[in-house]
Amino acid sequence: NAGVMQNPRHLVRRRGQEARLRCSPMKGHSHVYWYRQLPEEGLKFMVYLQKENIIDESGMPKERFSAEFPKEGPSILRIQQVVRGDSAAYFCASSRASGGSYNEQFFGPGTRLTVL
């Protein structure tokens, strides 16, 4: 059973370009979470999505960042007009349906974004 998959693993962009990060959850998981890890820091929650719905985006920067989890295909984290401060590791996690007992989040290997 494949784990959470993220691609690309490494992404280099110049300032002003767009970055698209993809996350395929584990089989049977319908909930996706995105986290950002800045250098020398812990993971910070960005957004929580279910299929076709954004449930909690309280950790997302107000501008340039967006996320989606369509009915078919992977979840996408999109960063428009990237700046050097966006350089970080972006991790995706997935879980089974939430509610009731605890549902463990399983993490992908991350995408390391470098903005030149």
Partner 1 sequence: AQSVTQLGSHVSVSEGALVLLRCNYSSSVPPYLFWYVQYPNQGLQLLLKYLSGSTLVKGINGFEAEFKKSETSFHLTKPSAHMSDAAEYFCAVSEKTSYDKVIFGPGTSLSVIP
Tokens linked to 112: 């390391």
| 3-state secondary structure (DSSP) of residue 59 | coil
Task: Match 């929650």 to its residue by tokens.
Answer: 45
With beta carbons less than 8 A apart as the criterion, state whether 70 and 52 touch.
yes
Pairwise CA distance, residues 49 & 38, whole Å: 22
With beta carbons less than 8 A apart as the criterion, state whether 48 and 99 touch.
no
Range 55-74, binding partner 1 (CB under 8 A) = 55-56
Query: Quick check: 34 binds partner 1 (CB under 8 A)?
Result: no
| 3-state secondary structure (DSSP) of residue 9 | coil
Query: Quick check: 102 binds partner 1 (CB under 8 A)?
Result: yes
Of the two residues 4 and 82, which places its CB atom closer to partner 1 in the complex? 4
Q: Which of 34, 48, 65, 69 binds partner 1 (CB under 8 A)?
A: 48
Minimum CB distance to partner 1, residue 45 (Å): 7
Of the two residues 5 and 76, which places its CB atom closer to partner 1 in the complex? 5
Binding site for partner 1 (CB under 8 A): 4, 31, 33, 35, 41-45, 48, 55-56, 91, 95, 98-99, 102-105, 107-110, 112
